[in-house]
Amino acid sequence: MVAKLQLDENETFLADVASESFLTSVQREFDWKSLLPGLPEPEADRVESQAQKRDRAIALVMAQTLVRSVPRTRLVNVSFESGTPEIAKSVALAIADIYIESGLESRLEASQRASRWLTEKLSGLSEDLKKSEKALQAFRDSNQLVVVGGNRGLVDQEVMENSSRLREAQRTKAALASTYARIRAAGGDADRLEQITALLQDAGVQKARSGVLDAQQALKGVEERYGARHPQMASAVASLQAARRAFHEQLLNAAEGVRNQYEIAVDTERQLSEAVGTATGRIRELDRKQYELGVLEREVQTNRQLYDMFLQRFKENDSTTNYEPLNARITDTAQLPKKPTSPNRIQIIAVAGLVGFLLGLIMASLRHVLSEGLRSVEDLEAVAQVPLFGVVPRVAFKRSAGVINQFRDDPRTPFAEGVRSVRTAVRLAEVAGRKQCFVITSAVPGEGKSSLATCLGLTMAAGEKTLLIEGDLRAPTLRKILGLPKQQRGLMEVLLGTATLDEAIYVDAASGLHVLAVIQRPPNPAETVSSMAFAALLQQLRERYERIIIDSPPVQAASDALVLSRLSDAVLFVARADVTSMATVRRAVHQLNNIQAPLVGCVLNRVDVRRNPDAYGHYQYAYRYYG
């Protein structure tokens, strides 16, 4: 097509930049190499040879040609992009014409190639057919086969008749086998032969037996009438003996007859078995010959069918070689474009906006998926492996004192309701036994456990005598949270003996909550918590209060929390939503489980329900209801 339209000599076409990429256009318009000092001057444009121009023209045609099929039709839309409308029209028409011409040439060449191949194939098939027919006839002649099926039918009938007679002979032999064995065992003993039932059923034996019975009856009558010494008794005894000899002879004759019948049956069975075996061998021989004959016949039939099929295809191809209908035609000729078709600025802007939106969604999703923070109550329950006692919403105050004041002033806030739900869960957890002393701890600092412990103590103090103990001897906060007076004594003063419990315990007038805070920090908090004095003090406080809440330090910050957990009845674990990682919670819970701490529940603290409502279910409803 390039040669037909002489596109390699058309400078306008060769200078067309419609198919240039964006990067190529920028490089062509902006020569960045000229801005860098020290680089050699660019070489002057070299004159292209005719072959190079032809190659560039072919590349331009391939890059700017677009062929699309029309859906649900057999039509194809051919378009060509160019900066010159006339060139675009002429190239599109040339592509269609060249496609039709090349199709006709390829079909003609294919037909001629098929004719040559079919001619060679027919020659080989003809030779194969002749060889298979000669082999079939030679097999028939060598085996003298005329009608194999008829011979097989006669032999089959002979086998069936001999088999029937063989079965009859076998039944006769089986019927006589037992009697024959007993006769052989008896030998010539008449008494033992007389015990064989089959011999007694013989007509001659039955008649002789009747004679014996008659002679016995006559002997008995003579004896009863004349006596044992009468001359007629000798005659009667002689008659009985003669009858017995005749009976024994008949038994021997019957036994000999059974023996003859058995031997005849055995001989008949042997002869018939040999006849059936011989006939069966003839059948197998005929089957083998019939199989070989069938193979040869099928080979002849297959070769004949292949030969006929290729002969017919050769005739069809020979008749259609001179004429081949067109398989393509031009339905609509190319029109001269009236306006540019690209670039589509609206489409580019829409696609760019959509891509940016999708990238934003992907980045947000990745940030959500890769985040290790606790995003739902299910995450905390799955990691802690204990029931969730409650979800406490986040409040706007940054300091704990403001949280406590809001809890006191407005008991209808979502935060206050969350604390009360934790209190209810604590009481319901006492089904298996009362939990008098509670330790409230967390994994790391900043979880809000001190505020939660204080608010939980305030709400429990309304119904029970409650004491809040500050167990964090390293960073005490209850003094600032509750605003304790400066002269107030604390936990260390009691342990050192410089103050009594009544002097060290602060009583909140509004709620009645008793607080034992840390005023003086000890030099070694771990040894203080582990001391016998602290354990004795805790035992003394158990006798004075119904409920004791210990604000413990974080598990991973100090070992004090593990010691306090062993001294308490239950441990309540606090975690901060969206901040505390699941790995951190898992490590802290693992430490508590290693010392067999009585971990009974967990609390998800400082939850932003508005930001992620789906993760907290009915807690979002409670937030709207109480908020």
Long-range contacts of 475-480 (CB under 8 A, 24+ apart): 475/445, 475/553, 476/517, 476/518, 476/519, 476/521, 477/400, 477/450, 478/450, 478/454, 478/515, 478/517, 478/518, 478/551, 479/517, 479/518, 479/519, 480/400, 480/401
Contact status, residue 561 vs residue 574, Cβ threshold 8 Å: no
Domain identity same for 398 and 280: no
CA–CA dist 517, 482 (Å, integer) = 10
First to last CA, the chain: 78
At 215 the pLDDT is 72
Q: Read off the pLDDT band of 429 (50, 70, 90).
A: confident
Domain identity same for 445 and 558: yes
User: Cα–chain-centroid distance for residue 16?
Assistant: 56
Domain identity same for 594 and 621: yes
Q: What is the DSSP letter of 45?
A: P
At 263 the pLDDT is 78
Q: What is the mean pLDDT of the chain?
A: 76
Inside any domain, residue 200 = yes
Q: Read off the pLDDT band of 91 (50, 70, 90).
A: confident
User: Does the N-terminal peptide bond of residue 343 adopt cis geometry, omega within 30 degrees of 0?
Assistant: yes
Residue range 65-76, pLDDT digits in tens: 778 888 888 888
Q: Read off the pLDDT band of 144 (50, 70, 90).
A: low
Inside any domain, residue 222 = yes
Q: Name the pTM for this structure.
A: 0.45
Domain identity same for 387 and 368: no
Indicate whether 180 pLDDT > 80.
no
Range of the domain at 362: 343-372
Q: Among 22-31, 92-101, 212-221, 382-391, which is the least confidently predicted range? A: 22-31
Indicate whether 549 pLDDT > 90.
yes
Inside any domain, residue 183 = yes
At 19 the pLDDT is 52
Q: Would you state the structure tokens that stand for residue 301, as one six-digit string?
A: 């039939």
3 state SS of 449: helix
Indicate whether 359 pLDDT > 80.
yes
Secondary structure in 3-state letters for 211-258: HHHHHHHHHHHHHHHHCCCCHHHHHHHHHHHHHHHHHHHHHHHHHHHH
Inside any domain, residue 83 = no
Percent above pLDDT 70 for the chain: 76
In which element (H, E) is residue 55 found? helix 50-64
At 406 the pLDDT is 77
Domain identity same for 419 and 568: yes
Contact status, residue 626 vs residue 412, Cβ threshold 8 Å: yes
Domain identity same for 387 and 365: no
At 297 the pLDDT is 76
Higher-confidence position of 300 and 425: 425
Domain identity same for 364 and 511: no
- Most trustworthy range by pLDDT among 196-200, 590-594, 611-615: 590-594
CA–CA dist 182, 288 (Å, integer) = 48
At 240 the pLDDT is 73
The mean per-residue pLDDT over the stretch 420-433 comes to: 82
Q: What is the DSSP letter of 40?
A: P
Pairing of strands 547-551, 466-470: parallel
Domain identity same for 377 and 305: no
Indicate whether 467 pLDDT > 90.
yes
Pairing of strands 76-80, 65-69: antiparallel
Q: Read off the pLDDT band of 393 (50, 70, 90).
A: confident
Indicate whether 319 pLDDT > 70.
no
Higher-confidence position of 343 and 363: 363
CATH number at 472 reads 3.40.50.300
Inside any domain, residue 331 = no
Inside any domain, residue 12 = no
Residue type, 507: V
Burial 591-617 (b: 16+ CB within 10 A, else e): bbeeeebebbbbbbbbbebeeeeebbe
Tell me the β-bridge partners of 157: none
Contact status, residue 472 vs residue 560, Cβ threshold 8 Å: yes
Contact status, residue 505 vs residue 533, Cβ threshold 8 Å: no
Q: Is the dihedral of CA 181, 186, 187, 190 positive or negative?
A: negative
Number of Cβ atoms within 10 Å of the Cβ of 288: 10
Q: Read off the pLDDT band of 621 (50, 70, 90).
A: very low
CA–CA dist 290, 1 (Å, integer) = 67
Indicate whether 612 pLDDT > 60.
no
Number of Cβ atoms within 10 Å of the Cβ of 180: 20
Indicate whether 155 pLDDT > 70.
no
Domain identity same for 524 and 411: yes
Nearest to 383 by CA among 184, 593, 104: 593
Indicate whether 54 pLDDT > 50.
yes
CA dihedral 154, 155, 160, 163 (to 10 degrees): 150
Percent above pLDDT 90 for the chain: 6
At 398 the pLDDT is 60
At 548 the pLDDT is 92
At 147 the pLDDT is 47
Inside any domain, residue 275 = yes
Indicate whether 559 pLDDT > 50.
yes
Domain identity same for 277 and 355: no
Indicate whether 20 pLDDT > 60.
no
CA–CA dist 318, 227 (Å, integer) = 129
CA–CA dist 91, 2 (Å, integer) = 9
Q: What is the DSSP letter of 574?
A: E
At 401 the pLDDT is 63
- Domains identified in the chain, total number: 3
Domain identity same for 438 and 315: no
CA–CA dist 53, 63 (Å, integer) = 15
At 361 the pLDDT is 86
Nearest to 616 by CA among 572, 577, 575: 577
Tell me the β-bridge partners of 76: 69
- Most trustworthy range by pLDDT among 172-186, 239-253, 322-336, 412-426: 412-426
At 148 the pLDDT is 46
Q: Would you state the structure tokens that stand for residue 374, as one six-digit string?
A: 């606790």
Q: Which residues contact 372 (CB under 8 A, 6 or more apart)?
A: 581, 582, 583
Q: Among 34-38, 382-386, 390-394, 572-576, which is the least confidently predicted range? A: 34-38
Inside any domain, residue 24 = no
Indicate whether 558 pLDDT > 90.
no
Q: What is the DSSP letter of 442?
A: E
Domain identity same for 363 and 406: no
Contact status, residue 466 vs residue 457, Cβ threshold 8 Å: yes
Q: Among 7-16, 289-298, 494-503, which is the least confidently predicted range? A: 7-16
